Amino acid sequence: MVNRRLLLRTGGVAAAAALGTAAVSSTAAAAQTTEPAPFADGQHPLGSGPTDGVTRTLLQQHPSPAEGWDAVQTLVQIPRNKESGRHSHPGVEVGYIIQGDVLMEFDDRPAIRLRTGDPFFIPNGAIHNARNVGTVTTKMLSTYVVDPTKPLVTTY
């Protein structure tokens, strides 16, 4: 069982280590694996302007039991009044809102409001934007099952 308080206090790093998972810090992630990480440095800032301060930190990456796919887990943090920016992934995203309030906007369907404790699912290739509409930094645990030959994030 994950210690949620530990995850919130440490941004996932200590929790991932406590669970015995791989790839935690930016340089340690690259040094511990020969597989390409979805982010060259383990932590990926998502742009400038409305996306300033938004980060996606790699917690772990492993080959999926389904041949040709990788399972990737990240901690996404979106400061107040910021957004991820329109983007998609080369596979599905299964997520959980650890803290905060998000308006998940889609190009091809209505937006959904997500709050602390809510799960979410984003289909393969769906263009979406996570907008922090709350009063604290939003923290999302996102797990992807993706094609490892493609970038984890494609921005629009």
How much is the pTM? 0.70
Report if residue 119 sits inside a domain. yes
Report if residue 19 sits inside a domain. no
Report if residue 118 sits inside a domain. yes
CA 105 to CA 110: how far, in whole Å?
Answer: 7
pLDDT of residue 50: 63
Report if residue 126 sits inside a domain. yes
CA distances from 21 to 15, 56, 72, 96, 137 (A): 9, 17, 12, 18, 25
Report if residue 156 sits inside a domain. no
Domain of 104? 24-150
Report if residue 1 sits inside a domain. no
pLDDT of residue 153: 92
Q: Give the burial class of 140: count Cβ atoms within 10 A of its Cβ; 0-12 exposed, 13-18 middle, 19 or more buried.
A: buried
Q: Which residues of the chain have pLDDT under 50?
A: 1-48
Tokens 């493609």 locate to 150
Report if residue 98 sits inside a domain. yes
Identity at 47, one-letter amino acid code: G
Identity at 105, one-letter amino acid code: E
Report the domain count for the chain.
Answer: 1
Report if residue 145 sits inside a domain. yes
Domain CATH for 33: 2.60.120.10
Identity at 33, one-letter amino acid code: T
